[in-house]
Amino acid sequence: MLRPRLQKWIFLALACAVLFYITLFLYETRTTGSEVDIMNFSGSALKNYWTSQHIKEQYFKNGMKGPLTAHDIRKMIQDENAKFAEDREILLRKNKDRHAYKAINVRAPMNKVFQKFAKILKLNRMLFPHPERTITLDGKPVIWETQFEETPYNVLSENRLLEFMEFDPQFVEDLTRKHRNVLSSLPKRAVDFYHGTGYTMVGGGMYTWYAYLSIRSLRKTGSTLPVEVVIPQDSQYEPKLCDEIFPNELNATCVRLSQVLGNDTLKSLGELKGYQLKSFAMLASSFEDMMYLDSDNFAVSNPDHLFESNLYKKFRLVTWPDFWRRTSSPLLYKILNIKIGNFPVRRLNDFFTPTEKYVTKEELIEVEDKINFHDRLGTLPEWTSESGQILINKREHFNTLLLSLYYNFDGPAGYHPLLSQGGAGEGDKETLVLAAHVLRKPHYQVYRKPDKLYGTFIKHAKFFVDSTIVQFDPVVDYETLKKAVKKNIQNMDNLQSSYVYSYMHAFGNFAFEDSPGKPLFYHIHNPKMNPFDYVEKNLFTDPNDKELRNFGKNFPQIGYDIELWIWELVLETLCERKLEFAEFRDRDMAQICNSSLITGRLEYLRKTGAELLGGSQVPQIDVTEDSELDQYIFDKISETQKYKNIE
């Protein structure tokens, strides 16, 4: 007979074991919705425990060692992920499609169409989020290693890109199947939901304040086209602003996302994330011809003329470049069912120079190691996109928007790492051009690289940040491109065998740096224009507490001191007119309105601005008509979509 005390301990141990198994069962059933082999899962849990003990012993057995490198962490994550390949394979086999996919009927109202597409999104959620992107910080996935590739001379070959990240076979097979399903569901007919021309931004909370500043910047340039501010949640609707200030003063309206796409449908998709809001806003806006603007993007020249330009009418989608090279995984194209050509068809975004002018026979023998992967047919061309501004015809690109939404729905641990593999700016920014590429819709991307403006010193981090991305006029850019194309053709004809190719001189920075166009947008993104942050963190000074300009000294290019204008607008809005913004409701306005810091700031800006602005002139450019050259450029860019499918 066991002693009562021993019986008690045995009973407690058995109870803990039962509770452990029940917890495992409920957890696994809830997360996968599939049957679970409890013994295997329990074994995996114990194995993970012993693995963690091994890691602990390896790195800490002789006391605290140096911190783990990003490479160490990534390797441990991948090693652990590899142990469950068999489990993923079983789950993949159990989750075969049981749903027949056919094109959505777009004759129904917009909310009904979106309801159907939302169902397709939910049915095709990825099974296996990438293990390196499952750890988040402030709602965003942690990117352990960032790739800063910006030099045009570096060879980013197929084999080199395959080394950036690992994507297991089950991850690839699952997304391949889901991608095929979503493609099969896209409408076959053109939509009639959209009408008119205008700008679209995302509002809600602090973003309503940012949008207000952005709209005011548009109106300062002379822009008269209407603006729609999409409000993600009904609770973020601000009646005073949305019903009075925006429509009566700024030709702007607030659009409740729920009223366009359906409240129940949106709820069924779960909480909307920041990286998804752009796609939702672009779909919900009523305009057919639309320019999407990030809410922290300031127009510094009137963009209205872009809608009437021959460039836009020809391409129907215009994007702007980022600073970075394309680092997409070659496995992305397997998922997309795109067959990649064996030979280069361009050099970066030079679609015009014959490849024999710059590709050697030795490079053609070792294409996988010696040729840029994204110079081959079927791949997205260089460079990456900066999506703070997008010019698009939504009737032409409705399916592009739907497909882009799908890429963002499973973005952070799915398509975003596939597109960037830790490349600088990994996120939603490449999803629209990817969708257009998959649907064989050509687009024009501005050639002139953006400028960076420095001037904000983050004191707790002890470094300067590039606070502003400066983007340029695509119409002016296109005129410069036409001159570059003609000059390059003339050089090849005149020099014949003596012609020496240089990307930088033909179509790179050297060809576009003297372009006469002035900036079109100041994307003030880091930090954004929250006046309380600037005051409370004292972002007005450098490491030596010497006053500096936050948005650089290049503003003579645009003809006025934008930094001074912004701060005068802040004081006018919050202090003189006392307009209320929900995000500032509990803030002490005296920090802004009765601040000697702000008074001194304005004096500094006025003094230094007058010195820099003196006699500045903005150069102009003449638009030339050359329909033959226009068609030649369009055809060459369109050739990037003449790829074959794998099956």
Tens of pLDDT, residue by residue over 613-631, are: 875 565 666 777 889 999 9
Burial group, residue 212, by CB count within 10 angstroms (0-12, 13-18, 19+): buried
Residue 406 predicted with pLDDT over 90: yes
Beta bridge partners of 415: none
* pTM, full prediction: 0.88
**Rg for the chain (alpha carbons), in Å?**
27
Q: H helices within 83-205, ranges in order?
A: 85-94, 110-123, 158-162, 169-185
pLDDT at 2: 53
Mean pLDDT of the chain: 89
Per-residue pLDDT averaged across 94-105, rounded? 85
Cis-peptide, bond into residue 131, ω within 30° of zero: no
Residue 30 predicted with pLDDT over 50: no
pLDDT at 315: 98
- Kindly indicate the confidence band of residue 77, based on its pLDDT and cuts at 50, 70 and 90: confident
Residue 36 predicted with pLDDT over 50: no
pLDDT at 21: 54
**What HEC string does 381-398 produce?**
CCCCECCCEEEEECCCCH
Instruction: Summarize pLDDT for 223-273 with one digit per residue, the tens.
Output: 999 999 999 999 999 999 999 999 999 999 999 999 999 999 999 998 888
Residue 405 predicted with pLDDT over 90: yes
Per-residue pLDDT averaged across 534-547, rounded? 91
For 340, which DSSP code? Answer: P
For the chain, the first-to-last Cα distance in angstroms comes to 72
CB 245 within 8 A of CB 216: no
pLDDT at 620: 64
Whole-angstrom distance, CA of residue 14 vs CA of residue 463: 57
pLDDT at 29: 45
- Kindly indicate the confidence band of residue 22, based on its pLDDT and cuts at 50, 70 and 90: low
Instruction: Summarize pLDDT for 343-393 with one digit per residue, the tens.
Output: 999 999 999 999 999 999 999 999 999 999 999 999 999 999 999 999 999
- The percent helix, strand, coil of the chain (3-state, each to 5) is 50, 10, 35
Per-residue pLDDT averaged across 440-461, rounded? 89
Beta bridge partners of 200: 228, 292
Q: Taking the mean position of all CA atoms in its chain, how far away is CA 208?
A: 20
pLDDT at 31: 43
Per-residue pLDDT averaged across 607-616, rounded? 80
pLDDT at 84: 85
Residue 27 predicted with pLDDT over 50: no
Top-confidence residue, 76 or 481: 481
Whole-angstrom distance, CA of residue 625 vs CA of residue 518: 21
pLDDT at 248: 98
The sheet carrying 227-231 orders its strands as 252-256, 227-231, 197-202, 289-293, 389-393, 317-319, 444-445
Domain locations along the chain: 197-499+501-512+626-645, 530-613
Instruction: Summarize pLDDT for 549-590 with one digit per residue, the tens.
Output: 999 888 888 999 999 999 999 999 999 999 999 999 999 999
Residue 54 predicted with pLDDT over 70: no
Range from 133-142, 499-508, 599-608 carrying the lowest mean pLDDT: 133-142
For the chain, give the number of residues: 647
- Kindly indicate the confidence band of residue 436, based on its pLDDT and cuts at 50, 70 and 90: very high
Residue 28 predicted with pLDDT over 50: no
Per-residue pLDDT averaged across 140-169, rounded? 93
pLDDT at 32: 40
Whole-angstrom distance, CA of residue 359 vs CA of residue 204: 51
Instruction: Summarize pLDDT for 297-327 with one digit per residue, the tens.
Output: 999 999 999 999 999 999 999 999 999 999 9
CB 200 within 8 A of CB 230: yes
Top-confidence residue, 66 or 476: 476
Percentage of the chain exceeding pLDDT 70:
88
pLDDT at 116: 96
Listed as own residue / partner, the contacts of 624-627 with beta carbons closer than 8 Å and 24 or more positions apart are 624/479, 624/482, 626/482
Dihedral sign (CA 512, 306, 401, 428): positive
Whole-angstrom distance, CA of residue 273 vs CA of residue 100: 29
Per-residue pLDDT averaged across 497-514, rounded? 90
CB 488 within 8 A of CB 353: yes
Percentage of the chain exceeding pLDDT 90:
70
Dihedral sign (CA 377, 383, 388, 392): negative
- Kindly indicate the confidence band of residue 83, based on its pLDDT and cuts at 50, 70 and 90: confident
Whole-angstrom distance, CA of residue 367 vs CA of residue 466: 36
Q: Which helix (H) or strand (E) holds 628?
A: helix 627-638
Q: Which two tokens stand for residue 8?
A: 């008690």
Per-residue pLDDT averaged across 632-645, rounded? 96
